[in-house]
A = this chain, B = another copy of it.
Amino acid sequence: MSEPVPPGGTPKSATPKSATPKSATPPSETQSRRASIGARRSPAAEAAILDAARSLLAEKGYAGFSIDEVARRAGAGKPTIYRWWPSKADLFIAVYSADKAAAIVVPDTGALATDLAAYTTELWRFWRETPSGVAFRALLAEAQASEQAMAALRDKFLPLRLADLACVFTRAADRGEIAPADADDLLQLYIGFHWVHLLTGRIGEDAASIERMARLIVRAGRPDTAAPPTR
């Protein structure tokens, strides 16, 4: 869905015929126009479009993310965009996927609490300072209006993105810090913490809050505390 569409359409053999002698369209200044490079996809056009989309998203958020504006900035035609990305969402997802490479380093400090605090600090900074943060928020928003986007988010995007954090919890379980059975639930709780802050615009560097939350998570997972009134 997010991949460019291979052009395999029906060859229409009808010659344009050009009954209308349009003439004109003077090629006066062929200066900066990025002409076709022939019967193949232009890497220059693709790169220009992706770059324009990324910077536009970073500057104006999803609200200002219009195909027309992307085309203007990229010096590309809208048909060129729609040829390779059938919808606005496709282009949007492509941008995020391309950025995902520059991901986040998963900390390994030897203790869950410090791992979590470090990860959160880094993630929030990433969300604040890169187009990806904006893009992710937009993706969450988009998913609320499109069942398709929702499914993609839930089934493809999240599991992939959460793999890093999952292994932080796995290591903690191996160290005996938390009960292995709780690892998944604790991960979910921590994700929720991130999302609430992201979606309400509170992803500043509130170190105290981050640390408190990390300690709560650790405490919730402590296996030895399960003794007394667990029924």
Alpha-carbon separation in the docked complex, A9 to B89 (Å): 23
Question: Is the CB of A33 closer than 8 A to any CB of chain B?
Answer: no
Docked-complex contact A146 and B63, CB < 8 angstroms: yes
Query: Interface size of A by Cβ–Cβ distance < 8 Å?
Result: 69
Residues of A at the B interface (CB closer than 8 Å) are 1-12, 14, 61-63, 82-84, 86-87, 89, 111, 113, 137-138, 140-146, 148, 150-151, 153-154, 158, 182, 185-186, 188-189, 191-196, 199-202, 209, 212-213, 215-217, 219-222, 225-226, 229-231
Docked-complex contact B196 and A213, CB < 8 angstroms: no
Complex partner residue of A195 from B111, B153, B196, CB under 8 angstroms: B196
Complex partner residue of A10 from B6, B182, B188, B215, CB under 8 angstroms: B6
Alpha-carbon separation in the docked complex, A221 to B217 (Å): 10
Contacts of A5 in B (CB 8 A): 4-5, 7, 9, 82-84, 86
A35 to chain B, nearest CB (A): 17
16 A–B contact pairs at CB < 8 A?
A1-B148, A5-B5, A6-B10, A61-B145, A63-B146, A138-B144, A140-B141, A140-B199, A143-B200, A150-B201, A151-B201, A158-B200, A185-B213, A195-B195, A219-B226, A220-B220
Contacts of A221 in B (CB 8 A): 216
